[in-house]
Structures are given as C-alpha cells and as structure tokens.
A and B are shown apart, each in its own frame.
Chain A
Amino acid sequence: MLKNKKLFLTRIKQQLGEKILSFTIRQPNETEIVVKKDQLAEVCRFLCQEKEGRLFTMVGSDEREFAGSFVLYYVFSFDETQQFITVKTMTPEEDSTFPSLAAEFPALNWYEREVKDLLGLRPQGHPDLRPLILHGDWPEEIHPLRKEFDVSQNAPRVKSRESFMQYEGDEVTEIPVGPIHAGIIEPGHFRFGAVGDTVLYLDARLFFTHRGLEKASEGMPLSKALFLAERICGVCALSHAVSFAQAVEAAAAVEIPLRAKYLRTLFLELERLYNHIGDVGNICAGFGFAVGVSQGTILREELLMLNERIAGHRYLRGIVDLGGVRFDIAHPDYADILSTLNKIEIGFTELVDILLSHDIAVDRMSKTGILTLKQANDLEVVGVAARASGRNIDIRRDQPYAAYDKVSFTVPVYTEGDVLARIRVRIDEVFQSISIIRQIFIQMPTGDVSVGLPPISPYARGMGWVESSKGETVHWLMTGPNETVERYRVRSATYSNWPAVALAVPGNIVPDFPLINKSFELCYACCDR
C-alpha cells in the first residue's frame, strides 16, 4: 500500500511536469500542488478524469495579510490510495478573478458561486452567476469573508436581484412553496414549474439560515470554536464536532488514544442509528402511512433517551474534546446500550417488515424521484443518496477515521436511485451500525480517553471528515496566531446533495415532492451555515 502511494504520487508529479509550480507532501495522506491560475483547469481535469479523483471540498481564503493574495484550494480525494491532493492557486487583489470550471465539473457550481458571494472573486465563464449564499438584497460589493468586513457591521439592504426560471405560454403553472412551511421544518423556497400534475422544473432557493458561522469563528480560540461547530446543525451535532476535532488534531499532528477512537466510533454510530431509524419512519409521512411514522418515532425516542442516559445529551452534544472525548463510559453503560439495541433491532425489523410488505407503500416509493448514476457522479453526490444510485462511496471505508479501520462492515449499494433504494440503504445501514457497535464492545481497549494538544503553529492546516447519517461532512481548517481560527470551511453532505434534489424531482407528480425530499433527508442548517 505504502509503495503504491509513493508510485501514485511520483507518477502524478512526473505527468504534470512543468504545469505545476511546486509539489509538496504536507502530511502522510495529503499532497499539495501549487499551480498558476491558467493551468488550474488542466490540472483539475487531469486529476479528475485520468486519475479518477473526486472533488472533496473547495475553499476560498483571504490570505492577503500574510500571503499577499487570495488563495483557492481544491481538494480531491483518491479513495483507492487513500490520498488527498490539494490544488492551490493564488489570485491577487488587483486581478480578483479565477477561471470557472463549473461548466465542466457541475459539482463546482455552488463552490464557485459561494466564493464569488463571500470573497468577491469572480469565476470567469461561470454559466449561472446568480447570488447563492447571500440573497439578492445583499449589496453586491460587500463580501463578508474578506478580512476587512467587520462582523458587527450591518449591511444596508438593496433592491433584490433574485431571479427565477421564466416560462412562456399558458401550459406551465408556477407553484411557489415556502420558505415558511406547514409543520416544523427548516426554511427553503421551492418554485415548481408544473404542467398539469407533473413537475417540469424545480427552482430551489436555500441559505435562509445562513448565519455566517465561518466568519463568526474567525479569531475564535479553537477550544471555543468546537462548540460553534457542534451547533451548526441539530441532528449532525456530533459529526460536526468530531470533524472539527479531527481537523484540529490533524493541524496539531496529534494521534488520539485508541479508546477515544473507539468511543467516537460508538457515539457516531449511535447518531447514525437515531437518524436513520427516524428517517425510515418519517418517510411514511410522505404517503400518509401513520403507523410507520409513529413506530419510527417510538424507536427514535428510545435511542434519544439512551443517548441522554449515556452521554447526558439527547443529541450527543458536549462529548467530544480536542484530542479525544470528554468522559469515559463503564460496564453498566455497555449493558444498557446493548440491551437497548437488542430491543431496537426487534422493533425495527418489525417496522421494516410491515413497510416493505405493504404494496401501496412500496408502490409509492419505487420509481419515484430517480437520481441516475451519471447525475450522482457529475454532482459528486455523497452519502445515502450516492449509494442508492450505485455510487459506491463511504468515507468510513474509503478514508477511515476514528476506529473504522478496526471494525468490519459492508456498504450497501443499490442501483435504482429511487426513493425505495434510498430507504433500503438506510435500512441496511441500521443493521450494519448495530453490528459495528457490538464489535466495538468486544474490542474496546482500555486506557486514556484524551490527550493534551501540543502548541499549534500559526497558519497550520488540517482537515477532518466524518460520514454522518446524511453523507460525508468535511471541515477544512487553517489556524491563526495563538491557537485561534484563521479560516474555517464546512462542507456538509447536504451542500453536495441539494443540487441533486432539483434533478430528481422533475418528471414526478407535485404530491411526490415531499416524499422525494424526505428520502434525501437533507438539513438546511448544515448546508446554509
């Protein structure tokens, strides 16, 4: 494996030759390539198409103070060799543009628009330059992630530049939904163009819950920013906290104790369990199957109460520490978890039997909201949605973190890409999670649960990732002086998957939209930050 990695990197270096300015191995699993702006497209094309890398995250950063320019980082993951390659390119303030790759790599669409909104760098050749993060009434010349923007500053509101798809003729009916919805869900504005009952096109307007968390974290001590990370989202609280902690630990080049790794794995699986089981129940609300909803809720509540007994918090907050976990668990807790899981397993099997043998339920779910493999690959879709469309990725297996390299599990993959396939992936993963937790208790090593962090030098970089119940969540961190945050970029699973929903809905009937939306189960808060 080690030899493979070396060979892989040497080949890339040779093949890129003079197109790159420098080639540095920064960490055992991360290599940095610096390129000039005009070579960016070619290098990215080479890494994606010839080397089969996949876009992991893209970060724009204002480094004028210490590096003299804005910097863009494109991170690609190479799952086969378990390597990351960061392509770095600089863009000075005088020439604040960069070549857009969105037409070629649709996954970059949102990233580039985000850089334009928040940093004011213009992607040249981008096919759709509508505002994304900052809604149209935010002044075009104010960019919150530039260092001169003061967080306490109040931006004046201007006339909105928002625009939606225009339809010609009388056949198309426009149906606006949201941002305020019936029921307790987060805000998002959806505009359907429908012909009769069938959706022709879906315009999704998100980022209503953009709180500027990345800006708010700048200058914050790392230990406090952990709590900010934990509050990005309610149901992925632990995934975000672990991702952030891993990013800090990578920047500090510190290895956490083995027991802490196992405990993190345990809690991450508990988080996946309550989410997946709740989602399987909730999907029944999409076709009015009340028994399924209430059975799912009962099981989820059992798990939330278990979380509270074990960790003191229903949504698993306040568990993770930089360098480990904050508390240890003992044998009575093991027994509590295992006996609760035995109960859950029986209850969930019964729920699944009822759901999947119910003709009407299966009929509503199958062939509804199909996302093809091509679409999933083009948009770099992650998580459950990817695996239901035949895209075989799971970051727990592909780039193991915590103790995932020590437990065995299978990654369910379906090829249909419909609502039923997404539910089946969740169902299979629930049983895998229960099996992982049982293995953890057999293997659980003794020892410390946290380790002190050494001083972290300014401008060190680190990346942390977690396969949350929605998909992979990536935290990219650059530290500042005195162990503070200089730049922090959160790319949640929902950020990658929202554009896919807009592709899966057209062709379906309007009443199936809630069902399709629920089958992706994307959080808005994670995406909007």
Chain B
Amino acid sequence: MRAATVKALNLAVEGEGNEMFEVIRKIWKTGVVTHKLPLREASQRYRGKLDIQPHKCKNCGACVAACPAGAINVAQKGQGQELSIAYTKCIFCGLCASVCKVQAVQMTNDYHLATKNKNDLIQVVRMPQ
C-alpha cells in the first residue's frame, strides 16, 4: 500500500503518472451537473397523484376493490357519496386507473406530496347523486 502511494507520488512529481491528470481532466470535463430547484415536470408516464372526474363515475366500486393498499374508500355522506384517496397509503401502482372502464380515475404526473399536515394527503371527491 505504502509502496504504491510512493510510486504514484513519484510518478506524479516526475510528470509520468498521468493518472492524476486523467482524474483532474475528468472533473473539469464533467463540470456541474446538479439540477437547481424548482425541478422540471416529471415525465409523462410518471404515476403521481390521481385525477378523479366525479361526473364520469358510475359508482361500480372497481377501483376500491382493485387497490392493493386499501387507499381508496367510498363513504355515504348525507344524500350523496364521498370518494376519498389516502396518499398516505397509496403506492402509486395505477391499478385503479387501469380497471376504471369510464376513465373517471386517471394518473397524473403531479408528484408534489410534501406537506406539514397529514390531512392534506387525503383527497376527498364528492360524487353527484
């Protein structure tokens, strides 16, 4: 180990060890690659928050049954019904969107989930009667 270090240093001093120059050249060539905030939009295929269009919904319950994490719930609220999605549980697999025959549930590429209040992560949609 020590022998190799001495050898490398010697070579660098004598100008024969171009390995250090290679490293410096690589750093120079790379430059800064970090992206600055705000980040760009996520890719189109990214599975983020759900977009629910209540007027299309036929209340078949397919999405509730398909959800592997039990994140989607339907509750009776007064005369109508409320569909709630808990992003605290959602695994963003996209099964709900793929089983919905009328495309009332669709995935969007919105990935902004950071919040200081957990309740912000429960999306409630009121269904028309």
Contacts and interface: CB of A to CB of B under 8 A. Distances in A.
A308 B46 contact: yes
A343 interface: no
Interface stretch (B74-82, B89-97, B117-125): B89-97
Interface string A217-234: 000000110011001000
A231 B1 CA distance: 42
Nearest to B67: A224
A354 B7 contact: no
A363 B1 contact: yes
A311 B69 CA distance: 21
Interface in B24-78: 26-27, 30, 33, 42-43, 45-47, 68-69
A308 B43 contact: yes
A295 B33 CA distance: 10
A359 interface: yes
B37 to A, nearest CB: 16
B14 interface: no
Interface in A50-81: none
A50 B111 CA distance: 57
B88 interface: no
Contacts of A295: 26, 30
B114 interface: no
A311 B45 contact: yes
B4 interface: yes
B43 A354 contact: no
A360 B23 contact: no
A354 B19 contact: yes
Contact of A350 (B26, B45, B92): B26
Contacts of A313: 46-47, 92
A318 B47 contact: yes
B8 interface: yes
B27 A291 contact: yes
A360 B46 contact: no
A312 B47 CA distance: 6
Interface residues of A, number: 28
A248 to B, nearest CB: 15
Contacts of B92: 313, 318
A370 B1 CA distance: 17
B45 A310 contact: yes
Contacts of B42: 308
A4 to B, nearest CB: 43
Contacts of A231: 91
B26 A357 contact: no
A229 B42 CA distance: 26
A358 B33 contact: no
A287 B23 CA distance: 15
A458 B19 CA distance: 63
What range describes how many residues of B lie at the interface?
Answer: 20 to 34
Contact of A359 (B8, B26, B68, B98): B8
A197 to B, nearest CB: 12
A353 interface: yes
Contacts of A364: 1
B99 to A, nearest CB: 11
Given A318-B47, A359-B19, A227 B93 contact: yes
A326 interface: yes
A426 interface: no
Contact of A353 (B8, B22, B47): B22
Interface string B85-112: 0000001111000100000000000000
A245 to B, nearest CB: 14
Contacts of B23: 291, 354, 358
Interface string A305-327: 00011111100011000000010
Given A227-B91, A309-B45, A357-B19, A291 B26 contact: yes
A318 B1 contact: no
A381 B33 CA distance: 38
Contacts of B46: 308, 312-313
A312 B26 contact: no
A350 B47 CA distance: 34
A294 B27 CA distance: 10
B43 A312 contact: yes
Contacts of B5: 360
A359 B47 contact: no
B4 to A, nearest CB: 4
A298 interface: yes
Contacts of B45: 308-312
B53 to A, nearest CB: 21
Contacts of A227: 68-69, 91, 93
Nearest to A358: B19
A363 B4 contact: yes
A291 B26 CA distance: 9
Contact of B7 (A308, A312, A353, A359): A359
Contacts of B22: 353-354, 357
B28 to A, nearest CB: 11
Nearest to A312: B45
Candidate in B7, B26, B33, B69 with the most chain A CB atoms within 10 angstroms: B26
Interface in A354-392: 354, 357-360, 362-364
Contacts of B68: 223-224, 227-228
Nearest to B48: A312
Interface string A180-200: 000000000000000000000
Q: Which are the 5 A-B pairs with shortest beta-carbon distances?
A: A312-B45, A363-B4, A224-B68, A227-B68, A309-B43
Given A228-B68, A312-B43, 12 more contacts: A227-B68, A227-B69, A227-B91, A295-B30, A308-B42, A310-B45, A313-B47, A354-B23, A357-B19, A358-B23, A359-B4, A364-B1
19 contacts: A227-B91, A291-B26, A291-B27, A298-B30, A308-B46, A311-B45, A312-B45, A313-B47, A313-B92, A318-B94, A350-B26, A353-B22, A354-B23, A358-B8, A359-B4, A360-B1, A360-B4, A362-B4, A363-B4
